[in-house]
Amino acid sequence: MIILAKFYPKYGINRLWNELASERKNLYLEGVKPITAFTVEGKGCVCMMLDISSLDAFQDKFLNELNKVISLRKTETVPLMSPLFFPVREGVDYTLDRYVASLEIAPEKYDEVYNKILDTKFTNDTYARWMSYSLGKEDIILFMFSDDRESTNEFINKNIESIGGVKTIEIERIFDFMPMLSTEAFRELKAPFMYSHPPGYNGKLLDPELHQRYMEENASMISIVRMMPKGSLKKLWKEIELDIDRFNSNGIKPIFATQSEGRSHVSVIFELSNFEVLKRFLVENVHTLENVRQTMTVPLLKPMYFPLPESHPSNMERYLISIRADPQKISQIRGKLESMTVPGSLYQTFLSYSMGEFDIFSSVLADSRETVQKYAEETFDNMDGMIHYNITSQQEILPLASKEERIQHKNQFDK
């Protein structure tokens, strides 16, 4: 599984870059293999591409160890789906600048845009190095070598921006670049994703069997897909209620949908065998829902369900507490939530790390908002490492799996 991690420093980008360079030998951990690191103009972060065996390995091994030796303000993690690497002329990595283009695509055009980029011939001074679908704010990422910014902008504006379905493109120059694998190790890592020719020259995967094995890796996980409506939120809710079950296929299972106060989207929680399965849903299926304008995906790490006592009241309300924390204290805060005793009028139901704008999600049942607010103030206001938290009411909850399937799902992650 390939991901792009973004590390935001507390004390300056140059210091973080030097710390990563000095610690690079200690970053190769079980289940986690750093590939490259780079900085991008105008972005106050260091980006690192990694090959990981699972999201849990990344959280438990890599992030926990990194936070012990480097002072970070926050981290963001972007899973990359179906990456492709292209051959380039020897020496361009020494003679040309590096650029990255982030593309936002209309949901119904994901695959079309991706394939048209594959059919686009790059110029003599601009080379495609790799491209990938993304689960971040961007939908497709394209990494290039180029003579200069003017050549890059001219090529992208003429050949990529004009593709139907491309909504926005952000082009950024890469300033610092650090290979983190040997040439041989990098060649081995690229093997499942390596194309025979550059875009526009009818290339094909060099090792389709190896690529297929990667696509079918079993890395079970849960992910939230937030669906933004074209018009009425009620229409989208009704469409999901009537239609979402048709997306229940091998490797992907919708469990339930939620609608929160003050939010203009519907969240659908999926159980997945891997991210490539989710890519098929996002790229091939989600646009067939008539009322979806845009999606945002939030993978969850180490999800945990708390059993409810049989005697708990049936008329309780559900709330989601979203937490942003100091990276060095995230695991400590989660540990406290796992073991703490909560008041009798409130029940913890779910806890998870999040790979979105928040670090931890905690779902609770309570008899009122006042009970949740009091619990949060007493628990979080003076907790070491807490940056801020947000409480939202889950106004609508729609089961999308059968009762038996939901029980089976929860049993995998029970406390």
- pLDDT tens per residue, range 193-235: 999 999 999 999 999 999 988 888 877 788 998 988 888 888 8
Sign of the C-alpha dihedral computed for residues 54, 179, 17 and 25 taken in this order? positive
Residue with tokens 């970053």: 27
Which of 99, 88, 101, 103 shows the shortest CA–CA distance to 175?
Answer: 99
Q: pLDDT tens digits for 117-133?
A: 999 999 878 999 999 99
Contact 317, 373 (CB under 8 A): no
Which residues are CB-neighbours of 291 under 8 A, at least 6 positions away?
229, 230, 231, 232, 235, 236, 239
DSSP character for 70?
Answer: S
172 burial type by CB count under 10 A (0-12 exposed, 13-18 middle, 19+ buried): middle
H helix intervals, 133-232: 149-155, 183-190, 208-215
- Tell me what pLDDT residue 86 has: 96
H or E segment at 72?
Answer: strand 72-85
- Tell me what pLDDT residue 415 has: 67
Q: pLDDT tens digits for 58-88?
A: 887 788 888 877 888 888 888 898 899 999 8
Percent of the chain with pLDDT over 90: 43
Which of 1, 162, 176 shows the shortest CA–CA distance to 81?
Answer: 1
- Tell me what pLDDT residue 48 has: 93
DSSP string, 121-153: PP-TTEEEEEEEEESSSSSEEEEEEES-HHHHH
Mean pLDDT by 10 residues, the chain (415 residues): 90 89 83 92 90 82 80 86 90 89 90 93 90 89 93 92 93 93 91 95 94 82 88 88 76 89 88 83 79 85 86 84 90 90 86 88 92 92 91 89 88 78
68 burial type by CB count under 10 A (0-12 exposed, 13-18 middle, 19+ buried): exposed
Alpha-carbon span 116 to 35, nearest angstrom: 27
DSSP character for 27?
Answer: -
Alpha-carbon span 373 to 321, nearest angstrom: 10
Any idea what the Cα angle at residue 185 is, between residues 53 and 88, rounded to 5°? Answer: 110
Query: Coil, strand or helix: which one is 339?
Result: helix
- Tell me what pLDDT residue 285 has: 77
